[in-house]
Chains A and B, each alone.
Chain A
Amino acid sequence: MSSRALLPRWLTSEHPLPWLFPVTSLLLVFGLYPILYSLWLSFFKRNPATRKEKFMPSYNWEKLFSDDRVWDAIQITFTYAFIALALQLILGLAIALLLDSDKKGYGVLRALMTLPLVVPPAVTGMMFLLMYDSSFGVISNALYSLNLLSPSAPILGTGSTALWGVIVADTWQWTPFMVLIMLAGLRALPKEPFEAAAIDGASSFQSFIFLTLPMMSKIIALAVLIRGIDLFRIFDYVKVMTDSGPGTATETLTAYAGTVYFKSANFPYASTVALGTLILVLLTATLFIKVFKVRF
């Protein structure tokens, strides 16, 4: 008890301050300060010839709104996120229903299903690059033999299919995430309503639509939120697989910010694009949380 006498209360373990101090200071210094710094940077106009920066607060933000590549990137990001989310949700729910069984062997199948989650996304990109290769790739060759693809239009080298190529890699990696969450949801469902529905003569399809889905709506909303935000921040697959190409066919917002940073070294504008992405993510997520009443 001596420490209580010697130290002011806010330095003892009775007060939250010492407990929260390490996390808070780290997040402030390396999390919040960079964002403010970013905002500050976005107020400067960079002259590419002299590499000098001049204070012009509205320059980059006006440029952001009049930049066609930004609007294209927003469209590509939304298309990407929407298609991937829909695919992963539907596949995740279907596979979860399939694997939700206590019979022998399903435990092993469920464990195997989680394996894609631990593959580094950059390595996932590589795996799919190998399988998509237009001369010896196993997926490309399978599609050639089915006449669904021609060697003259490689999957990732063609504007109309490149985004799909990336979406397939993302879906391969993250459908297991949905499966796991949906399985947890299915396991937590009460048995009685289903028994009552069966007695009343409901088909299994009817009880899925009218019982399973409504009872799982909270979990589905949560899964969509977490996955949706990650899809919005997509960077690794695009960087590794297509580097935004061909042309700008797969250039998402984060990829565009990366391109501005690496290729033109226009740090103020790169910061502006990145902050724009952040604002868009926060707005979309807040709206989603409010509409679907997601709680953590």
Chain B
Amino acid sequence: MSTDTIKSVARYFVSITIVLVFVFPIAWFGLTSIKPVSAVFNKDRVVVFDFQPTFDNYRVTILGGKKSDTKADSGILMGTSGEGAYDGRGSIVSSLIIAVCSTILATSISLLAAYALSRLAFRGSQGYMHWILSQRFLPPIAIIIPLVFIFRDLGLRDTHFGIIIAHTLINIPIALLILKSFFDDVPREVDQAAMIDGATRFQCFYMVVLPMVKGGVAATAVLCFIFSWTEFLLSLFLTNSIRTIPVKITTFVTSTGSEWGYISALGTAAIIPGFIFILLVQNHLVRGLTMGAIKD
């Protein structure tokens, strides 16, 4: 074998090994979710593969099955928490409502602002951009405490609408900056041509430019969805009974022990939508993650 072949084989080998290291925690988590409890808590043999796969953990967490209906081998049955404590269906619905609504809200109002910042030259537009950017760098903890009081006074605490607003708030800066970078890619002559033909600014935006940045809007929406779907801190502070999935999962850790079967089942289920979406927007991912600063 020539040295080039050896090098290329070695590079494959190292690359695959590294990628496997990064995939391993997810795979391990997924594997745990279908293990019977005796295999999860087996401390004499940590790496077990010869177990009987079970879907009881999914039955309880995402299908609403009763813990008592499943085999005694599911769940560690040590908590005193009632039936339904591990039912994640409500959380899945809440997370979906919140993620979808905040995505639509954040993307649509950011579209308007992004178009104006890209096309209408006005005094202070640079300052406005900086203000938006600084919102992205704001630690959520700095607004969360007053937000709890404001939400309480407005009756928004522990409501879907309240978290939708909160998630929209953190998604706006990201969505706006990405969308502006997509609008900047469209030549201004396009607008000018439409306006010479008698279109108003809004018609020009809605009928001419918007269709040209469809891909960018889709990518932005996907990123907003993922941010909302995975968000933890705001949901934790602003709710008591409505639990998004990330917050719900943390309640499975109790002082008497952690229900690893249920945690891994709901956790694995929560990862799947993100996986599908991120594969759809691979081409715009870098632009999204750098808020339009790097175009790919």
Q: Do A and B bind each other?
A: yes
Interface residues of A (CB under 8 A from B): 1, 3, 12-16, 18-20, 22-24, 26-27, 30-31, 33-35, 37-38, 41, 95, 98-99, 101, 103, 105-106, 109, 111-124, 126-131, 135-138, 141, 172, 175-177, 180-181, 183-185, 187, 219, 222-223, 226, 229, 232-233, 235-236, 239-240, 254, 257-258, 261, 267, 270-271, 274-275, 277-278, 281-282, 285, 295-296
Q: Are B169 and A123 in contact (CB under 8 A)?
A: no
**Given that A172-B22, A275-B142 are known contacts, is A236 also in contact with B232, CB under 8 Å in the complex?**
yes
Q: Are A130 and B137 in contact (CB under 8 A)?
A: no
Q: Are A19 and B113 in contact (CB under 8 A)?
A: yes
Measured in the bound complex, the distance between the Cα atoms of B132 and A37 in whole Å is: 19
Any A CB within 8 A of the CB of B6: no
Measured in the bound complex, the distance between the Cα atoms of B267 and A118 in whole Å is: 12
Instruction: Among B109, B132, B143, point to the contact of A35 (Cβ < 8 A).
Output: B143
Complex interface: chain B residues within 8 A of A240 (CB): 232, 250
Q: Are A22 and B141 in contact (CB under 8 A)?
A: no
Counting chain B CB atoms within 10 Å of each CB, which of A135, A177, A275, A296 scores highest?
Answer: A296
Q: Are B135 and A31 in contact (CB under 8 A)?
A: yes
Q: Are B22 and A138 in contact (CB under 8 A)?
A: no
Tally of A-B residue pairs with Cβ under 8 A? 267
Q: Are A122 and B232 in contact (CB under 8 A)?
A: yes
Complex interface: chain B residues within 8 A of A122 (CB): 230, 232, 246-247, 249-250
Binary flags per residue of B235-277, CB closer than 8 Å to A gives 1, else 0: 0110000000111011001000010100110010011001101
Within residues 262 to 296 of chain B, which ones have a CB less than 8 A from any CB in chain A? Answer: 263-264, 267, 270-271, 274-275, 277-279, 282, 285-286, 289-294, 296
Measured in the bound complex, the distance between the Cα atoms of B205 and A12 in whole Å is: 13
Instruction: Among A16, A99, A261, point to the contact of B145 (Cβ < 8 A).
Output: A261
Measured in the bound complex, the distance between the Cα atoms of B166 and A226 in whole Å is: 21
Q: Are B112 and A23 in contact (CB under 8 A)?
A: yes
Interface of B is mostly: helix
Question: Which of B60-68, B69-77, B146-154, B208-216 makes up part of the contact surface?
Answer: B146-154
Binary flags per residue of B123-140, CB closer than 8 Å to A gives 1, else 0: 001001101111101111
Give the total of B residues in contact with A, Cβ under 8 Å.
99
Measured in the bound complex, the distance between the Cα atoms of B282 and A37 in whole Å is: 40
Q: Are B172 and A23 in contact (CB under 8 A)?
A: yes
Binary flags per residue of B4-26, CB closer than 8 Å to A gives 1, else 0: 00001001101110110011011
Any A CB within 8 A of the CB of B29: yes
Of chain A, the residue at the smallest CB distance from B206 is A13
**Given that A98-B18, A281-B137 are known contacts, is A180 also in contact with B232, CB under 8 Å in the complex?**
no
Complex interface: chain B residues within 8 A of A109 (CB): 15-16, 19
Complex interface: chain B residues within 8 A of A35 (CB): 138, 142-143, 146
Interface residues of B (CB under 8 A from A): 8, 11-12, 14-16, 18-19, 22-23, 25-26, 28-29, 32, 40-43, 46-47, 109-110, 112-113, 115-117, 120, 122, 125, 128-129, 131-135, 137-147, 149-150, 165-166, 168-169, 172, 176-177, 198, 200-202, 205, 226, 229-233, 236-237, 245-247, 249-250, 253, 258, 260, 263-264, 267, 270-271, 274-275, 277-279, 282, 285-286, 289-294, 296
Complex interface: chain A residues within 8 A of B226 (CB): 117-118
Q: Are B113 and A103 in contact (CB under 8 A)?
A: no
Q: Are A180 and B293 in contact (CB under 8 A)?
A: no
Counting chain B CB atoms within 10 Å of each CB, which of A115, A116, A177 scores highest?
Answer: A115
CB distance from A66 to the nearest CB of B (A): 21
Q: Are A296 and B133 in contact (CB under 8 A)?
A: yes
Measured in the bound complex, the distance between the Cα atoms of B150 and A30 in whole Å is: 9
**Given that A27-B169, A30-B169 are known contacts, is A233 also in contact with B139, CB under 8 Å in the complex?**
yes
